[in-house]
């Protein structure tokens, strides 16, 4: 697969909430480039997958780091509105109470906002 096919594979998988599949596509782009845009989107995808599984500690950290990693890319990249994605990350992170730990409770996946890339 070429770069465009991996990128489109990520977009499709993310939009269908197949986050693990999306991560696999993005890792093919990230490994040779070590680009923080890809790494930030990988962390967002992993965080969303973990929230869906009922994990809260790791997603809290992943969302914070994804937000920071995407900051240099405020303008559109690969036809993505990075500012909108960062706002989405903040919305998701705000759902996780600071004192909630994995095993003590979970975030209702139906309450997590959705975004299409």
Q: Provide φ and ψ at 17, rounded to 5°.
A: 60, 30
Cα 36 to the center of its chain, rounded Å: 12
11 to each of 23, 101, 116, how far by Cα in Å?
Answer: 10, 30, 8
pTM for the predicted model, two decimal places: 0.94
Which tokens belong to 109?
């996946």
Q: Is the model's pLDDT at 1 over the cut of 90?
A: no
Domain boundaries, the chain: 3-99
CATH no. for 3-99: 1.10.3450
Q: What is the pLDDT of residues 42-100, one digit of tens each?
A: 999 999 999 999 999 999 999 999 999 999 987 766 889 999 999 999 999 999 999 99
- Provide the pLDDT for residue 78: 81
């Amino acid at each position: 697969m070429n770069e465009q096919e991996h990128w489109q594979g990520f977009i499709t998988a993310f939009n269908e909430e197949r986050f693990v599949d999306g991560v696999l596509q993005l890792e093919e782009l990230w490994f040779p480039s070590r680009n923080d845009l890809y790494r930030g989107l990988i962390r967002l995808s992993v965080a969303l997958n973990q929230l869906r599984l009922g994990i809260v500690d790791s997603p809290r950290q992943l969302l914070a780091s994804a937000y920071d990693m995407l900051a240099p890319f405020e303008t559109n990249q690969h036809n993505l509105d990075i500012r909108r994605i960062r706002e989405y990350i903040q919305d998701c992170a705000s759902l996780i109470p600071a004192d909630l730990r994995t095993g003590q409770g979970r975030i209702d996946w139906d309450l997590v906002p959705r975004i299409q890339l």
